[in-house]
Amino acid sequence: AAEGPSVVLPQTLCHGVMSELTEYLQRGSPAGTVLNYVEVSRSPPKVAIVADPSNFQATACALVLCKLLGQACWHDVAMSPGVVPRGEAPLAGATACVMVFSKGAVGQFDFTMAMYQAALHQLPILPIMSEEDFHVLSEQEVTEAVSLVLPALNTAGCVADSKALFSIVSQIFVEIAIRFAPQDGAFSADVLEAKATEVVQRLRGGVQTTKLEVSSELLAKAAAESARRIPL
């Protein structure tokens, strides 16, 4: 897939990063230096948080959510969260996935591939809505959204067609989505913390797994390709 604009994720969500994210979400323009913090080593997350890397606002929401989940689950290694950076092996070692949906996310290469990988590995997926006017996509909307990126997905090892991808979206939204929007003035710090606690409770209470609905032959091929590309 052609490389487009994207957000390089900071590896440490320190006070400086959080201040810049807050400034961006309040003012609606990229803070800038949030992209340049020194990277440090980290363990793969157990709760993989996925956002459209070309959407700064959605990525900022994901990072804020990650920070709050980390504070809520600091004592529970099995719930350690992390935002999946662009280009990394998605969801390797994860036991659950939180997907931050925004307009245009379905059809963006990295987000759609992560969604596919989560279904391939039958992970439970909890949907987050980062925008007030986001709506669950119809089959026609999914087909149109993925039409341009589908060849690149197939080249990267995705065996799903638009119908299978729509099935994944439909399965995800069987779960009631949680709205998490730090940019909304109605979302105070207390509300955001309560939403993060709700995410934790939902994940611990059990979120249904998502499955890739393709033929057994294609499923076997996809599993083999994934094992070759992404050691689990």
Residue with tokens 């998502």: 210
**What is the rounded distance in angstroms from the CA atom of residue 99 to the CA atom of residue 90?**
12
CA nearest neighbour of 94 among 111, 127, 119, 74: 119
| pLDDT (mean) for 176-180 | 91
Residue-wise pLDDT tens digits, 16-48: 666 666 666 656 555 444 433 333 335 678 899
| Average pLDDT of span 162-174 | 91
What is the C-alpha separation between 178 and 79, in angstroms, rounded?
18
CA trace torsion 95, 90, 102, 171 (10° rounding): -50
Other beta carbons within 10 Å of 117: 26
Mean pLDDT of all residues in 118-137:
89
Q: Between vectors from CA 179 to CA 178 and to CA 180, what angle results, nearest 5°? A: 110
Query: Residue 64 above 70 pLDDT?
Result: yes
Is residue 232 predicted with pLDDT exceeding 50? no
Query: What would the DSSP string read from start to end of 9-65?
Result: PPSS--HHHHHHHHHHHHHTS--SGGGGPPP---PPPSEEEEE-TT-HHHHHHHHHH
pLDDT higher than threshold 70 for residue 188: yes
Question: What would you measure as the largest C-alpha separation in the chain, in angstroms?
Answer: 50
Q: Give me the phi and psi of 164, to 5 degrees please.
A: -65, -40
* Mean pLDDT within 181-201: 87
Give the confidence band of 108 by pLDDT, cuts at 50, 70, 90.
very high
Average per-residue pLDDT for the chain: 79
